[in-house]
Structure 1
Amino acid sequence: MEWLGDNLWSAWLALAVFLGVAELMSLDLVLIMLAVGAVAGMVTALLGAPVLAQVLVAGGASVAMLALVRPSVVKRLHSGPELSLGHGKLVGRQGVVTAAITANEPGRVRIDGDVWSATPYDPTLTIAAGQTVEVFEIRGATALVHPIPTLEESD
């Protein structure tokens, strides 16, 4: 029993390893947080602190990891990059008008190398050829666009 008292750090290390291996089976990111607490308990034991202090440090570190670290890690793991497919990926892109656009007469706009039919998002606008526009919406095969103001227009 005296050996265990002098080498309690090894028990903390064994617990940390056990919890780490068990985490590989569960993948819930709970046991790994407890393993970090066990490592904190091991460090406290190596510093020569009494058993009560080791338990308190291990428990505090585990609770802190569960409350502060785990939620953000889980959120980051469960959220991936947003995938835009089809014509929806064109929304927010810029294009150049190749044929004048009015509400009554759809025109043409080149977006990412493709030519689309286009109407103005604001039906009161007329957009001249050569003007840069932003795609606000796609309806069917028609882009609803709005002109991007240039420095000359804002003066």
Structure 2
Amino acid sequence: MDIEAWVWWLIGAAALGIPLVLTAMPEFGMMAVGAVAAAIGAGFGLGPVAQVLVFVVVSVALVSVVRPIAARHRAQRPQLATGTEALKGRQAVVLERVDAEGGRIKLAGEVWSARALDTERVYEPGHQVDVVEIDGATAIVM
């Protein structure tokens, strides 16, 4: 029983899909696409050397183009801040005197415990303060 070259390339593509699923390494997926391209080339009658060249060129091209794009996307911060990250940089109103020991502010419609970033500063009720950071359930303000 003689199996044609394009079938072997498709078997190779499926075999490359297994480590892609097991390891979540996208490089295996790009090589699987290269194997599919080689199978298409074999189906059009390309010789063995040309098939291997198609596989290598497509695989290398995908890895060299897709990996930098994926790395750039992975390094980007999310555009929509949620949770305590969304509160950083917002303004709040002092409800009870805020100093290095603590106090209370109204932040995003809720009452929060707060602490002054600068240990020498004191903020009296009615003052507008900026939230610099959230430490647990305490807003650090300045």
TM-score range, shorter chain: 0.5 to 0.7
Structure 1 residues without counterparts, runs of 5 or longer = 147-155
Aligned counterpart for 1:28 among listed residues 25, 28, 37: 25
Seen in structure 2, the aligned counterparts of structure 1 residues 45 and 76 have a Cα distance that, compared at 3 Å, is same
Give the Cα–Cα distance (whole angstroms) in 2 for the partners of residues 140 and 42 of structure 1. 57
Contact 2:89 2:132 in 1 (8 A): yes
1:30 CA drift (Å) = 3.7
Within 5 Å, give how 1:1-155 maps onto structure 2: 7-70=4-67, 73=70, 90-99=87-96, 108-112=104-108, 113-119=110-116, 121=118, 129=126, 132-137=128-133, 143-146=139-142
Residue type of the partner of 1:33?
M
- Structure with higher Rg: it is 1
TM-score computed with the length of structure 2 as normaliser: 0.60
In structure 2, distance between residues paired with 1:22 and 1:126: 59
RMSD: 4.5
CA deviation string 1:1-34 (max 9, x = no partner): 9x65xx4222211211122134334443343322
Return the letter of the residue paired with 1:14.
Answer: I
Q: Which residue of 2 aligns with 1:153?
A: none
Q: How many residues align?
A: 137
Gaps of 5+ in 2: none
